[in-house]
Amino acid sequence: MLVAEVKSADKRLSEKEVTRDFLESLNRGEEMEATIPGDIPKVGVTSYPILEFDDRSLQLLHRGVSETLKQSNVKPAGGKVYEFTKRLFDIVASTFALAVLAIPIGIVALIIYIDDKGNPFFSQIRLTKDGKPFKMYKLRTMCMDAEKRFADVQKKNESDGLAFKSECDPRITRIGAFLRKTSIDELPQFLNTLKGDMSIIGPRPPLPREVVLYTPEQMNRLLVKGGLSCICQTEGRSDMEFDKWVDGDIRYIKSRSFGLDMKLIFKTFVAVVKRKGAK
């Protein structure tokens, strides 16, 4: 259960209000799944009730997600040998990737800095296994005050779910659009995999403002460590409907294996080269 004082776009919510809103969002999600016909397209979120989270709020959200997942009937595949092999591969692969990509990342970072004189790197709080918060690294593709301006652009959400997507987002810089389409902006996340925050393959880590609106079924995405890529990223990325995105993540969680991970790494490489669904 989420119990905390957090900041919204224009006010500070009380603990009771946040708890009430969180529980009501879960109930609304369950009702929508049961009542919305399959042939009627779902509209994405255009107004997030909570935009800013302090450290205490994040820890309480982590606790709430963890407690909710204890009731999940989804059992992640893979035993201790798989987990050990997966972590060892993450360390070796991310170390190699960072060694090879260090100079290209540095060149891109310099171009970003020359473009608008701001910090070329960007970190954002995301949630991984059991709702644990961590800082996810990226090459910056938006203006320096992008997070502060989100309240103004959230109504332009073009996705059908909780994740925010907009091709006409005015916060994206000139070089940022190219970095996103080529996925170059994601390269610093190899540092996250080396640190153990993420894995090479796993569900993409969501934002706290998205997770507070998750239904219990959608929260199953957080049963395992988040990753650089998963089934969704190989089958359409931004073009995929949110429900299918969640289904793909849960399908992965139920059938994880080292062989499947290798297959998804290859398919991710192909998707990046073809720029499939990249926005």
Residues 165-189 pLDDT 10s: 777 788 999 899 999 989 999 999 9
Per-residue pLDDT, 23: 47
pLDDT at 261: 96
Q: How far apart are CA 216 and CA 252, in angstroms?
A: 17
- Of 11-25, 50-64, 76-90, 209-223, where does mean pLDDT reach its minimum? 11-25
pLDDT band at 3 (very low <50, low <70, confident <90, very high): very low
Nearest CA among 119, 157, 163, 160 for reference residue 140: 119
pLDDT for 88 = 97
For 38-93, what is each residue's pLDDT tens digit?
A: 443 455 677 777 778 889 999 999 999 999 999 999 999 999 999 999 999 999 99
Return the C-alpha torsion angle 251, 254, 258, 263, nearest 10: -10
Estimate the crossing angle of helix 80-116 against helix 174-182, to 10 degrees: 160
Q: What is the mean pLDDT of the chain?
A: 83
Q: Which region, left, alpha or beta, applies to residue 99 given φ > 0 means left and ψ of -120 to 50 means alpha? A: alpha
pLDDT at 276 over 90: no
Residue with the larger pLDDT of the pair 202 and 18: 202
Confidence of residue 267 (pLDDT cuts 50, 70, 90): very high
Confidence of residue 8 (pLDDT cuts 50, 70, 90): very low
pLDDT at 49: 72
User: Residue 205 above 80 pLDDT?
Assistant: yes
CA distances from 258 to 74, 77, 264 (A): 19, 11, 10
**Across 18-22, 69-73, 77-81, 237-241, least confident range:** 18-22
Across 7-16, 20-29, 153-162, least confident range: 7-16
Residue 136 phi, psi (nearest 5): -100, 130
Q: What is the pLDDT of residue 43?
A: 55
User: What single letter denotes the amino acid at residue 74?
Assistant: V
% of the chain with per-residue pLDDT over 90: 57
Give the pLDDT confidence of 243-257 residue by residue, as tens digits: 889 999 999 999 999
Q: 167 by DSSP, 3-state: which?
A: coil
Q: Which of 37-41, 178-182, 217-221, 236-240 has the lowest mean pLDDT?
A: 37-41
Cα–Cα separations (whole angstroms), residue 91 to 51, 87, 95, 136, 194: 33, 6, 6, 17, 5
Q: What is the mean pLDDT of residues 122-130?
A: 95
Q: Report the pLDDT value the prediction gives residue 133, as an integer from 0 to 100.
A: 97
